[in-house]
């Protein structure tokens, strides 16, 4: 039994319309599902991904308009990296981001791959990484994206976790979750251990960054990451993972039906909220694949409340892009 890599990353936005404009119009991802947060139906839950929302390509957002700006700290995801193909693409992306008023850092090397750091309009730390063609099977950029497919985002490359100390998290991720050490080095005077799982490489990596200088568990707010999810191939494996985590004393939740996948959640010892999600059934379970994300989707148990839910949502000011440049 092995995790298949990263399933999705979920972050927080206080500006849903601006969020759609940036992730579809600038980054060129497809809004594959527009639904609500099942635990707070007054807020959108927006899913951006590749052409059909393959697991491993999803960046999702809780729309919490009241959220204060994120305050980084230890015990949180500190950066999310997207994978693209080819180092040349990073130069193109730096120019595109600048054209849209988004500043980026210098391209640098990390573990043999070129990395372009930047932030989204709410200050979330993001990276574009040349995945060198390796790693887990990449996604396929949407053909109607404003970004041509050859430079399009192919999924999540990896995440970085800021931790007060690496030991307890290393122990759980290697002994319980089946991760392997892929690299260890010092970056900006901080110890970094890169772990990989499943097929290894881009799409499966988690970088643990030792940051005893940071306060623990600062506020997750707009521009911050709420949790990172890992892939279970089917419901049988998912159930087995829950049993394994429970036996390890990790305080895992019951299985929760998110309709598009099944989820369990637990907090690793360093404080980061982890989720394990099934690959299926996927986003086409309630919408035609050609029209994903164009309308508000609700799971069956919320459909009887559609009228009141829609009345409580702030209309998105930015229409879903359908190939606009």
207-244 pLDDT per residue, tens: 999 999 998 867 899 999 999 999 999 999 999 999 99
Which of 219, 205, 257 minimizes the C-alpha distance to 9?
Answer: 205
Encode pLDDT of 155-183 as tens digits: 999 999 999 999 999 999 999 999 999 99
Encode pLDDT of 273-286 as tens digits: 999 999 999 999 99
Q: What is the mean pLDDT of residues 198-205?
A: 97
CA distance 165 to 73: 13
Which of 220, 227, 226 minimizes the C-alpha distance to 71?
Answer: 220
CA distance 180 to 287: 38
> Are the beta carbons of 244 and 192 closer than 8 angstroms?
no
Asked if residue 195 has pLDDT above 70, the reply is yes
For the entire predicted model, the pTM comes to 0.96
Asked if residue 52 has pLDDT above 90, the reply is yes
The predicted structure's pLDDT at residue 318 = 59
CA distance 86 to 89: 6
Asked if residue 325 has pLDDT above 50, the reply is no
Q: Lowest mean pLDDT: which of 132-136, 150-154, 211-215? A: 132-136
CA angle 293, 85, 88 (to 5 degrees): 120
């Amino acid at each position: 039994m092995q995790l298949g890599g990263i399933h999705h990353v979920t972050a927080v936005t206080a500006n849903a319309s601006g969020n759609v404009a940036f992730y579809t119009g600038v980054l060129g991802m497809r809004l594959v599902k527009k639904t609500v947060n099942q635990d707070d139906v007054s807020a959108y839950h927006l899913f951006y991904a590749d052409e059909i929302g393959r697991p491993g390509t999803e960046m999702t957002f809780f729309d919490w308009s009241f959220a204060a700006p994120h305050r980084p700290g230890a015990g949180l995801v500190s950066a999310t990296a997207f994978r693209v193909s080819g180092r040349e693409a990073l130069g193109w992306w730096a120019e595109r981001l600048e054209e849209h008023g988004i500043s980026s850092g210098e391209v640098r090397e990390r573990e043999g791959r070129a990395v372009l750091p930047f932030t989204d309009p709410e200050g979330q730390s993001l990276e574009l990484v040349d995945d060198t063609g390796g790693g887990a099977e990449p996604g396929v950029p949407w053909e109607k994206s404003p970004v041509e497919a050859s430079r399009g985002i192919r999924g999540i490359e990896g995440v970085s976790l800021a931790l007060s100390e690496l030991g307890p998290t290393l122990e759980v991720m290697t002994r319980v979750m089946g991760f392997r050490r892929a690299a260890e080095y010092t970056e900006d005077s901080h110890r970094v251990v890169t772990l990989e799982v499943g097929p290894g490489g881009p799409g499966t990596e988690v970088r643990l960054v030792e940051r005893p200088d940071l306060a623990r568990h600062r506020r997750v707010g707009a521009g911050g990451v709420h949790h990172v999810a890992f892939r279970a191939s089917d419901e049988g494996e998912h159930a087995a993972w829950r049993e394994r985590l429970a036996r390890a004393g990790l305080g895992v939740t019951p299985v929760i039906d998110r309709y598009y996948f099944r989820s369990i959640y637990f907090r690793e010892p360093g404080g980061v909220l982890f989720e394990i999600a099934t690959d299926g059934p996927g986003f086409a379970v309630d919408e035609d694949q050609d029209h994903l994300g164009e309308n508000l989707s609700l799971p069956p148990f919320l459909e009887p409340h559609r009228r009141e839910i829609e009345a409580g949502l702030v209309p998105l000011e930015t229409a879903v892009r359908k190939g606009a440049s």
